[in-house]
Amino acid sequence: MASVDSGNETQVSLNVMPMLDIFSILILFLLMSFSADPVSHDVNSGVELPQSITLLSLDELPTIVISKNQIYVNDNLVVTLVNGDIASMETNKIFHKLDVELEKIAESGKKFVKENSDLSVLTFEIDKTKKYKIIKRVMLSAQQSEYSRFKLMVEKQSG
């Protein structure tokens, strides 16, 4: 930790204590802010969540992601939106794939989950700019697959 100035032979030491202080405080802060939520999830890059005062934490990963230009079901791209909207002519054709995917999930859920478990819940990750028109259409597909309760992901407001 100490170095010697060869010219004058005076001992110069670097004081690392302030750096250690900063490090300690930084680690303490990071450990405190470390998420204690049961599920840790990285939000899709095309999704900006709206803020809410809810305190309910995310307890399962989202099944449906509606980003700015895509709709994913279990991380599989199902629908590509044109300018963030659906081309009205092809609505039924586009959403047929979504219906099929959701039906598959509902069927597999029935096979692998215990009898008493609640299968009717679906978690959504939706971009805050999305119009209700698209959300409603996706929810209708979900309802067709016997999902009746929806969990909408939001960003918890701090303070």
Partner 1 sequence: MSRKKKHKVNQMGAPIDLNIMPFIDVFSLLCTFLLFSAVFVTIGITEVQAPFLTNAVQKKSDNKKDENKKSLPIFVHISKNSVSIRSASPGEAEKTSSFSSDKNGLLAFHQNLVSLKEKFPDSDKATVLTEEDVDYSSMIFIFDLIKFHNLAASEENKSNSLLPKIVLGDIIL
Task: State in angstroms the smallest separation of the CB of 108 from partner 1.
Answer: 21
One residue of 4, 35, 46, 77 binding partner 1 per CB under 8 A? 35
Q: Taking the C-alpha atoms of 128, 139, 120 and 125 in order, what is their torsion angle to the nearest 10 degrees?
A: -20
d(CA 81, CA 96): 14
Q: Contact between 82 and partner 1 (CB under 8 A)?
A: no
The CA angle 50-156-129, to the nearest 5 degrees, is 5
Per-residue contact string for residues 15-34; x = within reach of partner 1 by CB under 8 A = -x--xx--xx-xx--xx-xx
Calculate the alpha carbon distances from 82 to 70, 90, 141 in Å.
9, 11, 20
Amino acid letter, residue 77: L
Q: Contact between 89 and partner 1 (CB under 8 A)?
A: no
Q: Contact between 106 and partner 1 (CB under 8 A)?
A: no
Number of residues that bind partner 1 (CB under 8 A): 55
User: Judged by CB, which is closer to partner 1: 88, or 116?
Assistant: 88
d(CA 51, CA 156): 6
Orientation of helix 91-112 relative to helix 132-144, angle to 10°: 50
One residue of 93, 111, 114, 131 binding partner 1 per CB under 8 A? 131
- Tell me which residue of 57, 55, 81, 54 sits closest to 67, measured CA to CA: 81
Task: State in angstroms the smallest separation of the CB of 123 from partner 1.
Answer: 7
Interacting residue ranges for partner 1, rule: CB under 8 A: 1-2, 16, 19-20, 23-24, 26-27, 30-31, 33-35, 37, 40-41, 43, 49-59, 123, 126-133, 135-136, 139-140, 143-144, 147-156, 158
